Amino acid sequence: MKVTIKVKHLVTALFFISALLMLLFFVVFPKLQVYHAQKGYEQGSLHGKENLLAVIDKSSKAQKWELIRTNMIESGTDSAVHGFDVVVGAHGSVMANSTTGESRNWAWEDKLPYLEAYLLEGPPDGYLVRAAKQLAFYYGSENKVDQALDALEKAEKRLGGNYSGQKRELKLEQARLYAKYDEIGNVDQILNELTKQLSPNAMDDFNGEVAQLKAQILIRKGDVSSAVKEVSREIEALKKAKAEELEKFPEMGDFTPAKLEQLTSLKGMLENALEHDEDSSSTVSGTITRSDGTPMARIGVYLRGEKDVYHSVTEGEPYQMLTDAQGRYEFKGVLPGSYELYIGLLFDQINGWTWPTLDEDWIDVGQGQSLISNIVLHPLLEIQSPINQQVITGKTISFQWGPVEGAAYYQLSGTVPIENGSFGTVLRMDIKDNHIEMPVEELYDHGSGISYKTVDDKEIVDGSMLLGFANPNKRFSWSVEAFNAQGRPITKSNGYRLNENTLGNLPFFYLQERTLTEADQLLLNDQLDEAMAVYKKSYEDNNEDRHSLRMIVKLYEALESSGNNRGMSEEALPYIKQMVEVNPNERYIFMLFNYYKEKKEWSQVDRYYKRLVEARKGKIESYTQSIYGTALMKQRRFKEAAVELAEAMTEDRSHRFIGNYVAVELYLNETYDSAMKLADQYPERAPFEQGNPNWRQLIQGLKQEGSSIGGSYTKELKMTLEAYFDENQDQLDKWMSTTNLTAMKALINALLKVS
Amino acid sequence: MKLEQEFIKEQLDEELGEMRFSKGVEVLERTHPRTWRTRWKALWNKELELPILPVGIGVAIILAVVMINQLGDAQEGIDASITNQKQRQLIEAGGNTYWKDEFEKAVGSVEGDHKG
């Protein structure tokens, strides 16, 4: 078959076809590519970032600036708070972003050339200023101060005449850089200039930022009271502006500008320092490295005050920075107080590594000190057995893991899955080797928490949970943590395992040494009373039936906790005693110790405390020891109480029982100074934002009140303390309603909350 | 016969006597092009007889090559992002944080080995 066509027609057709193809290749496809790359990045797809970078490289100039602007500058930051995937600290690790998708945060290595290009050739507008500030922040944290200043200068030169606001910001950034390098003269000069160019809109963050920097410099000069004045003045201005704004736009409703919050918090810290006559600040510095010595550059470091650790890191917290290329950080002008270190990392930086922290691991900063706190990240500990859902059918279970250099002991934990979560429990502490063989019975003894569910509008104990490790159908997991000789954690098996190389063995196993009994089935169906009856019958029929005895105790425990009873009932007691006889596990001994403590049967308390110490081979937990110390205090065995409490205090970082120790000390020695010394040594840590009692201040109050009243004061104090020791609530209530000794009243009120 | 032919010729001569063929040069130019212009024009209007099958195959091959070279390039990024637009999700299991897809794969590979 042939077709006849004139050359001119053929050529015209070919021309149009190629024009169409060109349009497709040079306009449509690139646009589609950009669109998909952008979408892939935003959604956190695998390789989303690489694709986007490839597209940016291929784009035309205008397109390139647009892409850099939306994907790097807008999400970029000139503060150390943002741009991290995970924030790790003493109170656990927090994911900074959502849990879906790959990280959208750029590593500086990736982003740097693009921001540099933007600074040189990008359109001269507000984005250029942001790019310059981000670059200056980066170079500043790398200690490349000249390059940082250069970036700011370049942006300033490239900006046209209409950008006075932006130019001001660049100046402020310059001042911050000088402040970092102690060039206080230069800072003062710029701050003076900026004070004349403050924004006419008081709500503008810029004014607050100038005030913050001014305050920082004043603190470093040791002039805290002027810093308070500076901050207060700005707070007033902001409050006034806010009121005006509200008047203009009443429909906005009440709001607190972030800057106002930040300044108020700073003012609080400053006033606190003034109150304690602490006007000379300190320096806190250190390095962040991996265990092989590799420095970790550009890690976010946050030194966080007591009131800040219970919320996520905000820009307003005064001590935050990035580590430099050598992994170093240094905070100058740190006000006296208690702080905890937190660090911000990218997934790539934490993947397969861990920085194990201790609860209540505070850095107590005094006056004019130079404190050093180094952070070392260790590779995650590798577990070896049982792994990958292994089924254990024998009488023992053998745990094994890779040895850790420098580990003095290991702590083994197990986890039982529960509805909507899991319940973790320490299986063994103080394991010397990197393996341990445990009887499965020991796992069965562990509690698995008590949870409740609603059935027919009634809250009932979730029976399925009470079996704990004795449920052959549940998949359990385990983890291990290594500690050095000083009791500080080195590494652990749990952490971020985000690729094939770090995924490691799965920490899951099944315990199928036993099968479910009839009573177990009843329990799983939430027929608690029926289950109890069958367990009791089984135990009566066969005194060797350890499982039934264990479940009877667990059921009593659960039923009593739901009935709001404190401690164990009389009914449960014989079962627990029998359990202790056949199985002197510390969990059951503690139940008896606690039972008799509530009943104030002191000889039994002593007896079971001794047994607990034996079961723990002399290494008693600080909490239990504090409770025993408190029990001794209630018996007025003050000297013994002081010994126990003192010992517990060195182990328990929260110092939650310091109130009782102080009370014993006040009663025994009748001097305020020794009690005050204790309060200083073991400050009670604020578990919540509202703060815990400041025992030093309370004793200071007593001292002042006592000196104004005279001899009878000590007598009254002792009498009131006796009522506290005896838990004589009536007498205390009566005294409270009649006394006008406010300081003493405050002390007793604080003591009543010790627990 | 001859008479008749002569008669027709006379008649024709008479009828066409007024007409003159003046385009002889043009015709000659077309049939025997001498200048570039005329040669180009001839080519431009030339009729080609193309066999559909071989030409079709040729075009298809060219298109395929172009597709692979050019379109493949453009498509790469699109494909990559489309196939990866299934969002990854982080999950916590056994105290660790994993990517859900990797974790499920790992669990899948050990499942059945032990659990009957």
Q: Which residue in B46, B52, B98 is closest to A498 by CB distance?
A: B98
Residues 6+ apart with CB under 8 A from A261: A316
Q: In this predicted structure, what is the pLDDT of residue A92?
A: 64
Tokens of A288: 């962040």
Q: In this predicted structure, what is the pLDDT of residue B116?
A: 40
Q: Which residue in B51, B78, B81 is closest to A2 by CB distance?
A: B51
**Long-range CB contacts (within 8 A, 24+) of A637-641:** A638/A664, A638/A667, A638/A668, A639/A668
The answer to whether the beta carbons of residues A364 and A483 sit under 8 Å apart is no
What is the distance between the alpha carbons of residues A606 and A604, in angstroms, rounded to a whole number?
5
Within 10 A of A509 (CB to CB), how many other CB atoms are there?
23
What is the distance between the alpha carbons of residues A70 and A748, in angstroms, rounded to a whole number?
59
What is the distance between the alpha carbons of residues A42 and B87, in angstroms, rounded to a whole number?
10
**CA torsion, ordered A116, A117, A119, A121, to nearest 10 deg:** 160
Is pLDDT above 70 for A547?
Answer: yes
In a 13 Å sphere around the CA of B41, the CA atoms on its Cβ side amount to 11
Closest-CA residue of chain A to B63: A21
Lowest mean pLDDT among A182-196, A516-530, A577-591, A688-702: A688-702
Closest residue by Cα to residue A515 from A391, A428, A416: A391
Give the amino acid at B63.
L
Residues 6+ apart with CB under 8 A from A115: A68, A72, A73, A76, A131, A134, A135
Tokens of A351: 């993947």
Band of residue A381 on the pLDDT scale cut at 50, 70, 90? very high
Judge: B74–A30 Cβ closer than 8 Å, yes or no.
yes
Band of residue A410 on the pLDDT scale cut at 50, 70, 90? very high
The answer to whether the beta carbons of residues A262 and A307 sit under 8 Å apart is no
Asked if B108 has any chain A CB less than 8 Å from its own CB, the reply is no
Mean pLDDT over A684-709 rounds to 77
Tallying the residues shown for chain B, one arrives at 116
Q: How far is CA B66 from CA A5, A19, A21, A198, A429, in A?
A: 25, 14, 10, 61, 68
Q: In this predicted structure, what is the pLDDT of residue A36?
A: 81
The DSSP result for B29-56, as a single string, is HHHS--SHHHHHHHHHT-EEEEEHHHHH
Mean pLDDT over A217-234 rounds to 86
Tokens of A28: 């449509």
Lowest mean pLDDT among A19-23, A129-133, B67-71: B67-71
Asked if B25 has any chain A CB less than 8 Å from its own CB, the reply is no
Contacts of A25 in chain B (CB under 8 A): 70-71, 74
Is pLDDT above 60 for B79?
Answer: no
B61 vs chain A: nearest CA distance in angstroms? 16
Higher pLDDT pick, A692 / A147: A147
Is pLDDT above 70 for A347?
Answer: yes
Q: In this predicted structure, what is the pLDDT of residue A435?
A: 92
Q: In this predicted structure, what is the pLDDT of residue A357?
A: 83
Closest residue by Cα to residue A367 from A273, A491, A502: A273
Lowest mean pLDDT among A202-211, A270-279, A280-289: A270-279
Q: In this predicted structure, what is the pLDDT of residue A479?
A: 93
What is the distance between the alpha carbons of residues A491 and A482, in angstroms, rounded to a whole number?
5
What is the distance between the alpha carbons of residues A320 and A82, in angstroms, rounded to a whole number?
11
What is the distance between the alpha carbons of residues A667 and A135, in angstroms, rounded to a whole number?
61
Judge: A100–B113 Cβ closer than 8 Å, yes or no.
no
B22 vs chain A: nearest CA distance in angstroms? 28
In a 13 Å sphere around the CA of A136, the CA atoms on its Cβ side amount to 26
What is the distance between the alpha carbons of residues A455 and A269, in angstroms, rounded to a whole number?
50
| Greatest mean pLDDT among A36-50, A371-385, B62-76 | A371-385
Judge: B96–A507 Cβ closer than 8 Å, yes or no.
yes
The answer to whether the beta carbons of residues A645 and A634 sit under 8 Å apart is no
Closest-CA residue of chain A to B69: A25
**Surface of A (402-441) touching B: CB under 8 A:** 415, 422, 424
Is pLDDT above 90 for A478?
Answer: yes
In a 13 Å sphere around the CA of A411, the CA atoms on its Cβ side amount to 16
Is pLDDT above 50 for A552?
Answer: yes
Average of per-residue pLDDT values in chain A: 84
Best mutation target, B90, B91, B110, to test chain A (most A CBs within 10 A)? B90
What is the distance between the alpha carbons of residues A594 and A576, in angstroms, rounded to a whole number?
12
Contacts of B46 in chain A (CB under 8 A): 6-7
Give the amino acid at A682.
Y
Instruction: Give strand pairing partners of A452.
Output: A461
Judge: B78–A32 Cβ closer than 8 Å, yes or no.
yes
Lowest mean pLDDT among A212-226, A341-355, A364-378, B15-29: B15-29
Higher pLDDT pick, A83 / A342: A342
What is the distance between the alpha carbons of residues A411 and A430, in angstroms, rounded to a whole number?
6
What is the distance between the alpha carbons of residues B111 and B107, in angstroms, rounded to a whole number?
6
What is the distance between the alpha carbons of residues A293 and A713, in angstroms, rounded to a whole number?
59
Mean pLDDT over A617-640 rounds to 88
Closest-CA residue of chain B to A54: B77
What is the distance between the alpha carbons of residues A703 and A673, in angstroms, rounded to a whole number?
9
Q: What is the largest CA-CA distance in chain A?
A: 127
The answer to whether the beta carbons of residues A416 and A467 sit under 8 Å apart is no
Lowest mean pLDDT among A113-122, A261-270, A304-313: A304-313
Q: In this predicted structure, what is the pLDDT of residue B1?
A: 64
Tallying the residues shown for chain A, one arrives at 755
Is pLDDT above 60 for B114?
Answer: no
Q: How far is CA A662 from CA A287, A673, A675, A715, B89, in A?
A: 37, 11, 5, 17, 51
B23 vs chain A: nearest CA distance in angstroms? 24
Judge: B66–A21 Cβ closer than 8 Å, yes or no.
yes
Beta strand extents in A465-517 (DSSP E only): 476-483, 489-492, 508-511
Judge: B107–A389 Cβ closer than 8 Å, yes or no.
yes
Band of residue B115 on the pLDDT scale cut at 50, 70, 90? very low
Contacts of A423 in chain B (CB under 8 A): none
Q: In this predicted structure, what is the pLDDT of residue A97?
A: 58
Lowest mean pLDDT among A64-73, A266-275, A351-360, A555-564: A555-564
Closest residue by Cα to residue A695 from A665, A718, A724, A725: A665
Sort strands B96-99 and B90-93 into parallel, antiparallel or unpaired: antiparallel
Closest-CA residue of chain A to B108: A388
Judge: B94–A3 Cβ closer than 8 Å, yes or no.
no
Q: At what angle do helices A48-58 and B72-83 cross, to 10 degrees?
A: 150
- Phi and psi at B19, nearest 5°, equal -90, 145
What is the distance between the alpha carbons of residues A483 and A620, in angstroms, rounded to a whole number?
17
The answer to whether the beta carbons of residues A718 and A667 sit under 8 Å apart is yes
Mean pLDDT over A713-722 rounds to 87
What is the distance between the alpha carbons of residues A746 and A646, in angstroms, rounded to a whole number?
23
Judge: B50–A95 Cβ closer than 8 Å, yes or no.
no
Is pLDDT above 70 for A64?
Answer: yes
What is the distance between the alpha carbons of residues A453 and A385, in angstroms, rounded to a whole number?
35
Tokens of B34: 């001498």
What is the distance between the alpha carbons of residues A584 and A108, in angstroms, rounded to a whole number?
57
Tokens 């170079």 correspond to: A139
Is pLDDT above 50 for A315?
Answer: yes
Give the amino acid at A637.
R
Lowest mean pLDDT among A204-218, A576-590, B25-39, B60-74: B60-74
Q: In this predicted structure, what is the pLDDT of residue A278?
A: 67
Query: Integer distance in angstroms from the first to the last C-alpha of chain A?
Result: 100
What is the distance between the alpha carbons of residues A176 and A85, in angstroms, rounded to a whole number?
26
Asked if A501 has any chain B CB less than 8 Å from its own CB, the reply is no
The answer to whether the beta carbons of residues A306 and A685 sit under 8 Å apart is yes
Q: In this predicted structure, what is the pLDDT of residue A492?
A: 92
| Greatest mean pLDDT among A86-90, A397-401, B112-116 | A397-401
Looking at residue B90, the DSSP 8-state letter turns out to be E
pTM of the model: 0.77
Q: Which residue in B82, B88, B96 is closest to A495 by CB distance?
A: B96
Asked if A14 has any chain B CB less than 8 Å from its own CB, the reply is no
Residues 6+ apart with CB under 8 A from A316: A258, A259, A261, A262, A263, A265, A266
Tokens of A88: 């790790």
